[in-house]
Amino acid sequence: MMLGKTPPPPVTPDNSNIQGLVIRGYTHPFSCHLMFSFKPNGITLNTKGFFSDLYPKVQSAVDWGNNKPVSMLNIGITFYGLQILGVAQKSQSTFPDEFQQGPWSVASQQSLGDFNDSAPSNWWYNNFQNADLHCVVHAYALTDTALTDIISLITTSAKSNGLTEVFPLKSGDGRLYQSIIDNNPAKIHFGYTDGISEPALGTPANMASRNQADLDNFVIGYPDYSIIDPAPSGNVSTNPEAKFAFDGFYNAFRILYQDVAGFNNFLLAQATNPTNVAKLSYLGLNQDELVEWFAAKLVGRWRNGSPLILSPDAPDPATAQSEDFGYATAGVKSPNQDVPSSFKCPFSAHTRVANPRDQTLTPGEGNLGPVRIVRRGISYGVELEGNTDDGVDRGLIGLFLCGSIAQQFEKLYGWMNYNNFSPKPNFSVKNPPQDALLGNRPTSPNLNNYPGVVTTFTIPIQNPATPTQPDSIVISGLPEFIKTRGTAYCLMPSLKALNYLATGVMA
């Protein structure tokens, strides 16, 4: 961002050149996310043929109005893939270090914290090596038949052009298919409504300035109002990588197994714990209601989406999609200004960690507010019936879209694993907690990654009968509810760049 100068009027990116995922969440009920290696499969590799076959189905960010495509796709390419395609330099590349090195690198793992079963050495069930994943194709359709047809188009082209499909799962045909939970495409396996609290990335041409939630911080090539300044930046006439990356963005593609049985049994254990039941007797809740109370406290929203700050006592359809709230106590300007809000929403509740809004941040986090990412989460795997683990792999296909993997995605993941972004009394600097839902619980010998971190979750409570005697429920030994099955960092190139890969001509 320009300092000490008045930047020019904001430039409105051309939506017809941007892959549509970053602008809108697709509501197609069928999708499959296919993964490919450019390592030859016995046939001469012809990536131009592959991209040429797929290009007509690539969905841009242009508003489709009432003519929703029956099927469509978007394409991401890893740094290793870009090198094979001749786009990224073999040395002295201007792409960001974290993109070049991959999510399994030591630097990235300082934030992601994929320990134990989640370790990069275990990703993709060892079906292939991390560096051998070069391209991810996200296919969407309105019907099951249309999805079958577009998958056939993609896989037939890949096979005939010498690409090798790689498979991230061990069950079924090994592919990542979208699943619908409780007949609601917006729900995840843990029962929560997803897709709430997304940055609105509209691009009106008459904006006087932009902020952190605007496209300048998500799409490469618009530095004037960006505080992220997505890379590679620079003169597109002298930097071929910057020219190729212009109007592109990054996708941290992350597959997360969800221990649904473990999660459900954990909630039930908390709701039947005699100490918890006694402390919460003033609420007058039955066992099922206490289960939902604990579920809401872990996440910061009731499972229908109602935020605890607006609806602290029960879910409310009127607030299910509400975004007009903050955590700082109105009118209070002191180091303790956020503390009263924790009686409604605990500090380490997942949605509060992922977007602390107006909560006090430490000086090291800057004064521009919390960073944002765009999430396109999709469930995979059949829905679990009951509370007994059936051994089936199920979880979340996470598409985390950003302009800077390090400054947005990895920074937020670091917050989830090490809650040190707010000062005392919100968090203890010496013994910081973790995100209640997504934290990767460290165990020896990984404790050095997050010095002093604790696996307790504190829920402040305040009985109206004793308002001057606040109390808390402290859950010790919070388990891991999530396991990482794999992660890939992809560039989502512009349509002009994809056309270049298909034709060899860069407009």
Give residue 11's identity as a one-letter amino acid code: V
Residue 349 within a domain: yes
Residue 394 within a domain: no
> Are residues 420 and 453 in contact, defined by beta-carbon separation less than 8 angstroms?
no
> Are residues 209 and 225 in contact, defined by beta-carbon separation less than 8 angstroms?
yes
Quick one: which of 25, 81, 367 has its CA closest to 199?
Answer: 25
Token pair belonging to 467: 């308002």
Number of CB atoms found within 10 A of residue 339's CB: 18
- Tens-digit pLDDT string for the chain (507 aa): 545 567 677 788 899 999 999 998 899 999 999 999 998 777 899 999 999 999 999 999 999 999 999 999 999 999 999 999 999 998 899 999 999 999 999 999 999 999 889 999 999 999 999 999 999 999 999 999 999 999 999 999 999 999 999 999 998 999 999 999 988 888 999 999 998 888 888 765 556 667 788 899 999 999 888 888 899 977 888 899 999 999 999 999 999 999 999 999 999 999 999 999 999 999 999 999 999 999 999 999 999 999 999 999 999 999 999 999 999 987 787 778 899 999 999 999 999 999 999 999 998 886 667 889 999 989 999 999 889 999 999 999 999 999 999 999 999 999 999 999 998 889 988 889 999 999 988 665 555 667 788 889 999 999 988 888 889 999 998 999 999 999 999 999 999 999 999 999 887
> Are residues 439 and 478 in contact, defined by beta-carbon separation less than 8 angstroms?
yes
What pTM was computed for the model?
0.95
Quick one: which of 99, 62, 45, 5 has its CA closest to 492?
Answer: 99
Rounded CA-CA distance 445/51 in Å is 45
Phi-psi region of 98 (alpha: psi -120 to 50; beta: other; left: phi over 0): alpha
Quick one: which of 396, 361, 414 has its CA closest to 482?
Answer: 396
Report the domain count for the chain.
1
CB-count burial class (<10 Å; 0-12, 13-18, 19+) for 78: buried
Quick one: which of 244, 246, 213 has its CA closest to 227?
Answer: 213
Q: Would you state the pLDDT for residue 139?
A: 98
Classified as helix, coil or strand, 184 is strand
Contacts of 286 (CB under 8 A, 6+ apart): none
Residue 351 within a domain: yes
Quick one: which of 488, 494, 495 has its CA closest to 35?
Answer: 488
Residue 155 within a domain: no
Q: Would you state the pLDDT for residue 208?
A: 62
First-residue to last-residue Cα distance in the chain: 27
Q: Would you state the pLDDT for residue 207?
A: 61
Rounded CA-CA distance 249/265 in Å is 39
> Are residues 214 and 70 in contact, defined by beta-carbon separation less than 8 angstroms?
no
Task: State the residue range of the domain holding 322.
Answer: 260-362+412-481
> Are residues 235 and 94 in contact, defined by beta-carbon separation less than 8 angstroms?
no
Residue 456 within a domain: yes
Give the alpha-carbon dihedral of 248, 30, 187, 374, to 10 degrees.
Answer: 0
Quick one: which of 391, 146, 76 has its CA closest to 259?
Answer: 391
Q: Would you state the pLDDT for residue 314?
A: 96
Task: Examine residue 445 and say whether the peptide bond preceding it is cis (omega within 30 degrees of 0).
Answer: yes
Give residue 385's identity as a one-letter amino acid code: E
Bridge partners for 307 per DSSP: 301
Rounded CA-CA distance 389/405 in Å is 34
Residue 304 within a domain: yes
Residue 154 within a domain: no
> Are residues 349 and 297 in contact, defined by beta-carbon separation less than 8 angstroms?
yes
Give the alpha-carbon dihedral of 77, 81, 87, 92, to 10 degrees.
Answer: 110
Token pair belonging to 70: 């029956």
Unique residue bearing structure tokens 């995100």: 435
β-strand pairing of 457-461 with 395-402? unpaired
H/E stretch holding 137 reads strand 135-141
Task: Examine residue 232 and say whether the peptide bond preceding it is cis (omega within 30 degrees of 0).
Answer: yes
